[in-house]
Structure 1
Amino acid sequence: MTFEVIPAVDIRNGKCVQLVQGIPGSEMISIDDPVAVARDWVSQGAKTLHLIDLDGAIDGKRNNTPTIEKIVEECKPLGIEIQVGGGIRSFDNAADLLKIGVNRVILSTAAINNPLIIKELADAFGSRHINVALDSKNGKVSIEGWQKQSEFTAIEMGIRFEKLGAGSILFTNIDTEGLLQGVNTIPTEELVKSVSIPVIASGGVTSLDDLIALKKTGAKAVVVGSALYTGKFTLPEAINIISEELYKE
């Protein structure tokens, strides 16, 4: 079983940032050129890029689409897969991104509020292009840039969205996200066991040991942001440690 380490490029006000638990104004990292950041991750060995339009997620204003388009234009020809989330609130929002070459669109708020949008998108574009983000805080799925909480658990929603045609799930444990205090693998493992589609883990990764622990949950990949940007480890180190783990198996 392969396991991929995916660097995050979170974009707010045209800059690449890292927020603490998604809270606006909590930037621990702010870099002026997200396109250059994406290019650098590719040069370090990334096979997939995780792009989040934070303005879209938090304010509903998808002002960073031109930046996302530039990243797609530069990286897609190199064989890099690109998944994009943040503020995708309608069928047309998702369709527009897929049409410019994005490999996977990540829906959260729109999916929770209107689950049938997942079926509509899967029918139109194919399940493999449709990802649902289940961002869990205190056991419940959060929406609207983590500012509101739904009444559903990640497992309930994961099972439902798999039936509706989602091709994969991005699971973020908000309780550990951005704190650089390590991962809690139990929620991820429980979700992986509840669905048959791939689960991409996120939230709290601080060390190479965290990557190994998440791989053992059965997750297909892990999105890493703060740990890479603050130098806890490098992307090549992460790729190498996972390769060594795979070899042991």
Structure 2
Amino acid sequence: MNLYPAIDLKDGACVRLLRGDMDKATVFNNDPGSQAAEFVAKGCHWVHVVDLNGAFAGEPVNGAAVDSILAAVGDNAKVQLGGGIRNMETVDYWLNKGVHRVILGTVALRNPDLVKEACAKWPGRIAVGIDARNGFVAVEGWAETSEITALELAQKFEDCGVSAIIFTDIDRDGAMGGPNIDSTVALARAISTPVIASGGVSSLEDLLAIKAQADAGIDGAISGRALYDGRIDLAKAIAALA
């Protein structure tokens, strides 16, 4: 099972938000490249990057920071990137630049045909980010909640080659209260696409609880704040999940 350390970018810095609130951001590192290098040095195979400003703006904003992460990671790990990727031109731009996998979130709800087109053009390199509040999909940087459930949206992409569904329970994100394992497992069992758990992962015990459900179709877990504040030792967590 993979552990995806998270780098959330706001105004060029690595931050963590509380339940997606941009006004409740804690800055952990002003040098995203060095943060990515630290994660790789400790053994991670992936780095999960989100352009938070881009998610609200609807277009990439922290491009320079992403470039620094790609340069720092090189061929030593893979980068998956989301936030503000709303058209094929942006998908092409980042995948050609060295991002291994792009995450389509808001556009997956607004324009599911674009997801299918991207999957056909870039096999194995497109993920869908589904962020849910009380079970319903939230978009535009979590500022809007739709009337479609996470499962309904995930089912739209069952046959088009999406490499992973990244499922985030917004109410758990950054709150250090543990992930919503029941909802994550229920989603994973209902679809064939691998699911990556996100939101609230705050201890090694949380990671092991997710790993115990791997046979449901869970590929891995994303963690952010707990890695920055030392609640999870990255090297030990990677070893435990291997």
Give the counterpart of 2:112 among 110, 115, 140: 115
SS state at 2:69 partner: helix
Give the counterpart of 1:83 among 73, 80, 91: 80
Question: 2:37 & 2:20 partners in 1: Cα distance?
Answer: 24
* Correspondence 1:98 to 2:91: no
The amino acid of 1:188's aligned partner reads T
User: How far is 1:77 from its partner?
Assistant: 2.2
Question: 1:111 & 1:12 partners in 2: Cα distance?
Answer: 23
User: How far is 1:192 from its partner?
Assistant: 0.7
The amino acid of 1:74's aligned partner reads A
- Gaps (5+ residues) in structure 2? none
Aligned to 1:246: none
* Correspondence 1:161 to 2:160: no
Paired residues in the alignment total 239
Give the counterpart of 1:201 among 193, 197, 200: 197
Question: 1:204 & 1:115 partners in 2: Cα distance?
Answer: 28
Question: 2:154 & 2:10 partners in 1: Cα distance?
Answer: 28
Conserved 8 A contact 2:32-2:68: no
Aligned to 1:178: 174
- Gaps (5+ residues) in structure 1? 244-249
User: How far is 1:58 from its partner?
Assistant: 2.1
**Root-mean-square deviation over aligned CA pairs:** 1.2
Aligned to 2:36: 38
User: More deviation in 106-115 or 233-242?
Assistant: 233-242
SS state at 1:162 partner: coil
Change in Cα spacing, 1:122 to 1:16, as seen in structure 2 (3 Å) is: same
Q: Percent identity?
A: 38
User: Where do 4+ consecutive residues of structure 1 move more than 3 Å?
Assistant: none
User: How far is 1:221 from its partner?
Assistant: 0.7
Give the counterpart of 2:125 among 126, 129, 133: 129
TM-score, with structure 2 as normaliser: 0.95
Aligned to 2:222: 223
* Correspondence 1:234 to 2:233: yes
User: How far is 1:51 from its partner?
Assistant: 0.7
Conserved 8 A contact 1:19-1:29: no
User: More deviation in 209-218 or 131-140?
Assistant: 209-218
Question: 1:31 & 1:189 partners in 2: Cα distance?
Answer: 32
TM-score, with structure 1 as normaliser: 0.92
Aligned to 1:71: 69
* Correspondence 1:213 to 2:212: no
Question: 1:64 & 1:38 partners in 2: Cα distance?
Answer: 15
Question: 2:4 & 2:185 partners in 1: Cα distance?
Answer: 19
User: How far is 1:30 from its partner?
Assistant: 3.4
SS state at 2:168 partner: strand
The amino acid of 2:10's aligned partner reads R
Summarize deviations over 1:171-218 as a string: whole Å, max 9, x none.
111121110011221110011101112111101111111001112232
User: How far is 1:107 from its partner?
Assistant: 0.5
